[in-house]
Amino acid sequence: MNIVSRAFLHTLIFSSFAFAQTQEVTLEQIMAHPDWLGRQPESSYWADDGGSIYFERKVEGSDERRLYQVGLDGTGLRELSEPERAVADHRGGDFSSDREHKVYARNGDLFVRDIATGQVRQLTRTEAEESMPHFMAGDDRVRFYRADNVFVRELSSGLEYQPVVMELDKDPAEEEDEDYLRDQQRRLVEYVREQKRKKDAARERDEKARAADSSRVPYPFYLGDDVALKASSLSPTGRWMLVLLLPKERDEGEHDVMPNYVSDNGYVDPKEVRTLVGTGTPATDRVVLLDLDKHELRDVSLASLPGISDDPLAWLRVNKEDEADDEDAEDETEDNDKEPEPRAVYVGSSGFGSGGNAGILWSDDGEHLVLHLFSHDHKDRWIAEVMLDTAELRTITRISDEAWINWRLNEIGFLSSSTTFYYTSEESGYSQLYLHALDTGTRTRVTHGDFVVSNVVESPGGRYLYYTANAEHPGIYEAFRYDPQNTRIEAVTKLGGRNDFQLSPDGARVLVTHSETTMPSELYVQEVRPGSRATRVTETVSSLFASLPWVEPEVVPIPSTYHDRPIYSRVYTPSGGASGKWPAVMFVHGAGYLQNAHLGWSGYFREFMFHTLLTQKGYVVLDMDYRASAGYGRDWRTAIYREMGTPELEDMEDGVKWLTEHKNVDPKRIGVYGGSYGGFMTFMALFKKPDLFACGAALRPVTDWAHYNHPYTSRILNTPDNDPEAYARSSPIEFAEGLTKPLLIAHGMVDNNVFFKDSVRLVQRLIELEKTGWETAIYPVEAHGFREPSSWLDEYRRIYKLFDTHLN
């Protein structure tokens, strides 16, 4: 592969742009299968010896991915054959403490690689799925999972054994509950008593025999017949097992049903989908510590967590009581005299869909165990140490938020020192990096500033801590490193745009996935030393994409009428002058908590290309990181607490004002569109501020937050039962009578995120309100994110027609 300097590459691309100024971007090209952009590198990783880079690349016209390898200077690019792929270095896995070996899982089996020789030793070849292998203390043993059971493999002897057996059943040695018929039978019938005695004696002999014979599988731990296993984690020494249990019978809420009308067999195929917000009852994790040496089971009580019995929504409940009649209020007052119930708490990550042992952290030497805990009401986060000798919980820190704890930016991990761990927290207002020493109790705040820290990684040997931050500009993400010995922070990359990094196995280099607003992600390698420059190692952007005249958006800070921070936004401006005022379109990004006004390649790449098309047709386009967006700190994120759709709409008003004052835009010819959260905001704008926009397109939109999922919605609006006012003021269906402007509603019918019924219910509401000027477009085979190019093209043809008809 030819290596081209970054400056020369940009000159080449911009020269292509100049050559292509007469070319016009078309909807057919934009909405074609994205393979035409060039099929950028995916799932990149370092070779185990740090001497090359691996990455996957999609096969054109197929969902298949193939593996490539390239040198650190960009030379020697080659596609690996299937036999080569089978023995190639594998992504992920765990290095031994001396970094001479690596264990990993591939296709459900386990392998160990000798880093120096490259020799691979296969440990398992089974139909069962083996996963999550890790070296244990001493590096001669590997612990791994097979189904829900943990196993250990000794590398020197080859012995595989099960260090612990857990049974989800009652302990037969425990005293039985009273039962009249059973007790009478044993009292009256000698044979029954004798059989019971023999059974108990056999069990006791078996327990003693297993304890005395190390060659046998240990006697089981009986965890109860009313629980389900959530997660478990074996300590690096193999002495301790931390187990998380949930009630076997728990209220998860009633699942909804989604019909699939275009099925394989011609019949309607109904699918069970998620529950709605507030319909279930959260359960507290039961935390159990098993001492495998002494065969002792002890529950770890969470009662000592500070604030666990607080009621963060007490003020809301009091307000509801005030509205009740005197008799009901008196009854509720009596109930309030009772001892407060502990809140439901779970161990793990606060991210959606995460679980497993994400919140169970062992130090490398196995001497320290730290738990990461969260309240189900999303108001509190705790970090606590389990004292192994007593199974008592010692709280290290409690982080509270009156709105909600972020579901991201909660990273935590032990350093190689085994007595210090790091964590990130928004307690200062922005996600910052902290260190905590268990032996001294000393906490050190590493970073300071109005920026966001994430992706924390310790270098081999523990000399540095690396992380990503947008310290230079809210929309520019670079890699930094912290030297604890000198308490010094220095920038590692200075590429601009958006950069994600991976540290090489020896810590000498970083592999950077770099992108810019008009350039999709490519791979770069850079040495970690002052003055080093990044070398580009992949060039996958297609010549067609590079030749088209994409409009590079400005990222501008738009002043706010409602708060003292600017609203960072992407602005696309037509070239040349206008005979009159420009029409404009405002794009509203989805997810709410997402950043799109950054200087890297957007996940909304089709919308980016569509915005170039709009500028060619004489539109100005504005894409705002309204309040609730990611990248701007806690207050920006939580500004929408209990009032989704209000702060964001205020920011959109400021965007319209800025367009008219700075971009020569006609305020009467501005349209709005967006998908998911952007569709929700399109509704809120047209329904609550009918004079702000001339028309709008709401795609896969939320119409009523009471019908969305629990993890997302309950954080921001609490639940419909305890905070109905928040749902009423935040749901577009409550304001549908305000519609006066043309509206397009587009929704996939098999959307398992925002259900199609959201749009169906709103349509019925519009019909009953006798509204006119609106239309719907349904997509029978599409989920939340469209996949078929024909669907994308149909949808955006309708959006363009809407704008062309009513704005241009």
- Residues 381-433: tens digit of each pLDDT: 999 999 999 999 999 999 999 999 999 999 999 999 889 999 999 999 999 99
Q: What is the CATH number of domain 208-308+343-425?
A: 2.140.10.30
**Is-contact 701 665, C-beta < 8 A?**
no
* For residues 161-170, average pLDDT: 96
316 vs 683 pLDDT, higher one: 683
Tokens of residue 432, six digits = 């910052």
Mean pLDDT of the chain: 93
Domain range annotation of the chain: 31-162, 208-308+343-425, 312-338, 552-806
- Residues 596-641: tens digit of each pLDDT: 999 999 999 999 999 999 999 999 999 999 999 999 999 999 999 9
CA atoms within 13 A on the CB side of 386: 30
The alpha-helical segments, DSSP class H, found in 578-633 are 605-616
Unique residue bearing structure tokens 């009428």: 561
The alpha-helical segments, DSSP class H, found in 189-241 are 190-212
Q: What number of residues does the chain have? A: 808
- Residues 528-542: tens digit of each pLDDT: 988 899 999 999 999
Amino acid, single-letter form, for residue 238: G
Whole-number Cα distances in Å, 614 to 159, 291, 620, 679: 66, 66, 7, 19
The alpha-helical segments, DSSP class H, found in 31-173 are 82-87
pLDDT at residue 5, as a whole number? 40
Percent pLDDT > 70 in the chain is: 94
Find out if CATH 3.40.50.1820 is the number for domain 552-806: yes
What is the DSSP code (8-state) at residue 735?
G
Amino acid, single-letter form, for residue 444: T
The CA distance from 41 to 274, in Å, is 33
| pLDDT at position 778 over 70 | yes
Burial class from Cβ neighbours inside 10 Å (0-12, 13-18, 19+) for residue 350 reads buried
204 vs 1 pLDDT, higher one: 204
| pLDDT at position 322 over 80 | no
Amino acid, single-letter form, for residue 517: T
Q: pTM of the entire structure?
A: 0.92
| pLDDT at position 1 over 50 | no
pLDDT at residue 6, as a whole number? 41
Burial class from Cβ neighbours inside 10 Å (0-12, 13-18, 19+) for residue 161 reads middle
Q: If pLDDT is split at 50, 70 and 90, which confidence band does 338 have? A: low
| 3-state DSSP percent of the chain in helix, strand and coil, to 5 | 25, 30, 45
> φ and ψ at 758, to 5 degrees?
-55, -50
Residues near 168 by beta carbon (within 8 Å), at least 6 away in sequence: 223, 224, 225, 227, 228, 229, 248
